[in-house]
Amino acid sequence: MFFKYLVLFFLFISFSISAKSKAPVRAKKGMVVSASEIASNVGVDILKKGGNAVDAAVATAFALAVTYPQAGNIGGGGFMVIHLKDGTNTTIDFREKAPQSAFRDMFLDEDGNFDIRKSTEGWTSSGVPGSVAGMLFALKKYGTMSRKEVMQPALKLASGGFPITYRFAKALNYYKAEFVKHESTKKIFTKENKLFYEGELLIQKDLAKTLSLIIKNGSDGFYKGEVANLISKQSKENGGLISVEDLANYSHAERTPIFGTYRGNKIVSMGPPSSGGIALMEALNSLENFKFEQNSWGSSEYIHTVSEVLKYVYADRAEHLGDEDFYPVPKKWLISKERGKEIATLVGKNAVPSNKISHANPPKKESEETTHYSVVDYKGNAVSVTTTLNSTFGNKIVVEGAGFLLNNEMDDFSAKPGTANQFGLLGGEANSIEPNKRMLSAMTPTIVLNSNNKPYIVVGAPGGSTIITTVMQIILNVIDFDMDIQEAINRPRFHHQWKPEQIDYEHLGMTDDVKKNLISKGHFIGRERTLGRAEGIIIDYKNNIIWGASDPRGYGKAVGY
């Protein structure tokens, strides 16, 4: 037994040392960190040509649609948080919308039971895509370059192909059985009686054609004309709901960010229909009432305190959050210092059972396949973007003739409020299905500003409901535990979302003694799993250095110059 603990101790120490020994990527002028090395290089090339962080972010987005189709997309949606050198902070909501003909009970079977296949597979699972509208709006209002300049790299990658990485080849081969169900997907993402291998080129001619139409005609190249007709025609033929009118009427929204402070730093994050910014700020407001010593990281007391706070945060999320164009979200109260202090006073020595916290409905399970990228330029602009198709490769359907994958974001609605889904979780009334409504998200693109109102941390992550806890722990690691951005991202994470009542954790994230102490406090230990894949940046103004880090849990890259 002693030997077992000794091994665990040295494994933990070796993990910590390896996390610290690998320095983040260093740069002087600009940095792009994304899930694809090729896309990160595209963004940095734009910065080198004189583009600003928004130009680079848009170029990176379209490149990801080619090189990282698991989540990078033009058939999905997401959120962008922007800080400009003049002090302006804003956000762009390009989340998908429910089609006009969508209705509350559309995913229930004849007996009134939730059928998850309807919400995750086939054309009924797709919301009206928002990525193209959001990116082009950001470029037009806050960028400095033309559509052609920022999109040409993506077009070249689609038409001429790019070399497949080892892990991307594995992903394509893994999903082959699902890809072959759709002829349009089969011909692009599978090979007859063969597997993809590292280094071969993936060429996407139809996607290149769509990108060319967007370059030429702007949003109309996607939401009207040939591409829109292809989407609506195939949707109708396959029982889907997206019409030409839905596409023509889609609109992004520029929204005021969620603002807050944590230990003297200003937090700028995303508001509804993302729950991320509110939940993050509510958690930080509560944790600000506690003092964490340097040696308390990973301790049972630290994990207990954070987990207890998260129970209240996720209970509030379930009861109060949805698309505020349709539902009155009490933002001011949720992100107030008073609410944070109230939660802090409820944290005792022992765990409070989840069913004693609230009778609100817990959040529906969200897909964990999303992607995030962070960008800063030498001018003082910063951009944090999280975008998604929902499931890995969305609903696995490529639009025939247009070459891009569709999202299955309709699954992020509460299909039947008040009734448990297949995971034993419930969904809230605030997130019920309504025409033209945006589904709730946990995406948490965030920018932390220092006391001089300059970008300090730019961070975000994929991971469904774990996004909030991932971003929160990285911020805590930097501010409370004085870690560099690579170490802050590398360190093992844990997750509690109120229901199910358990603390999930990563490999080497909890010793047996820590688990026993948590159990003695009344906690339930969940499963070992991977929690998020973050992409982050820290700016060191004292030494004039930009530090970038891509999460080793993924295969992205921080690229600077």
Place of tokens 């379930």: 318
Please report, as a single letter, which amino acid is at residue 51.
Answer: G
pLDDT of residue 424: 32
Q: Which residues contact 328 (CB under 8 A, 6 or more apart)?
A: none
Q: Annotated catalytic, 124?
A: no
Strand order of the sheet with strand 25-27?
A: 25-27, 545-550, 535-540, 455-460, 446-449, 265-269, 258-262
Chunked into runs of 10 residues, the chain (561 residues) has average pLDDT values of 36 41 89 98 98 98 98 97 98 98 91 87 96 98 98 98 96 96 97 93 98 98 98 97 98 98 98 97 98 95 98 92 92 96 96 79 63 97 97 96 97 69 48 93 97 97 94 98 98 95 95 97 96 97 97 96 97
Residue 416 zone, left/alpha/beta (φ > 0; ψ -120 to 50; rest): beta
Kindly state the helix (H) or strand (E) to which residue 78 belongs, with its residue range: strand 77-83
What is the rounded distance in angstroms from the CA atom of residue 60 to the CA atom of residue 40?
6
Residues 6+ apart with CB under 8 A from 35: 64, 68, 71, 72, 371, 372, 373, 533, 535, 550, 554, 555, 556
Residue 71's nearest CA partner among 375, 385, 367, 394 is 394
The answer to whether the CB of 498 falls within 8 A of the CB of 362 is: yes
Question: How many Cβ atoms are within 10 Å of 109's Cβ, its own excluded?
Answer: 11
What is residue 363's predicted lDDT score, i.e. its pLDDT?
57
Q: Residue 446's beta-bridge partner residues?
A: 269, 459
Instruction: State the SS3 of 225-267.
Output: HHHHHHHHHHHHHCCCCCCHHHHHHCCCEEECCEEEEECCEEE
Can you tell me whether residue 218 is helix, strand or coil? coil
3-state secondary structure of 269: strand
The residues near 219 (Cβ < 8 Å, ≥ 6 apart) are 132, 133, 136
Burial of 217 (0-12, 13-18, 19+ CB in 10 A): middle
Give long-range contacts, CB 8 A cutoff, 24+ apart: 216-223.
Answer: 218/136, 218/147, 219/132, 219/133, 219/136, 222/74, 222/129, 222/132, 222/133, 222/247, 223/132, 223/133, 223/247, 223/248, 223/250
What pLDDT score does 367 carry? Answer: 62
Bond before 129 cis per omega within 30 degrees: no
CA dihedral 174→178→183→185, nearest 10 degrees, is: -50
Distance of CA 389 to the CA centre of its chain: 10
Question: How far, in Å, CA of 445 to CA of 461, rounded?
Answer: 7
Q: Is 235 exposed, middle or buried, given 0-12, 13-18 or 19+ CB atoms closer than 10 A? A: buried
Cα–Cα nearest to 317, from 350, 367, 358, 375: 358
Cα 168 to Cα 490: distance, rounded to the nearest angstrom: 21
DSSP code at position 128? B
With 0-12 / 13-18 / 19 or more C-beta atoms within 10 angstroms meaning exposed / middle / buried, residue 239 is exposed
Q: Does domain 84-98+251-400+408-561 have CATH number 3.60.20.40?
A: yes
Residues facing 163 on adjacent strands:
201
- Which residue is catalytic, options 91, 370, 466, 469? 370
What gap in Å lies between CA 335 and CA 318, rounded to an integer? 15
237-243, long-range: CB within 8 Å, 24+ apart, which pairs? 238/122, 238/123, 239/122, 239/123, 239/124, 240/122, 240/123, 240/124, 240/126, 241/99, 241/100, 241/101, 241/102, 241/123, 241/124, 242/99, 242/123, 242/126, 242/128, 243/99, 243/100, 243/101
Domain parsing of the chain, residue ranges: 84-98+251-400+408-561
SS3 11: helix
Amino acid 417: pLDDT: 59
For residue 218, give Cα distances in angstroms to 56, 132, 148, 210.
18, 9, 10, 11
Displacement of CA 357 from its chain's centroid (Å): 27
How far is it, in rounded angstroms, from Cα 322 to Cα 178? Answer: 31
d(CA 407, CA 417): 22
How many Cα atoms occupy the beta-carbon half-sphere of 118 within 13 Å?
18
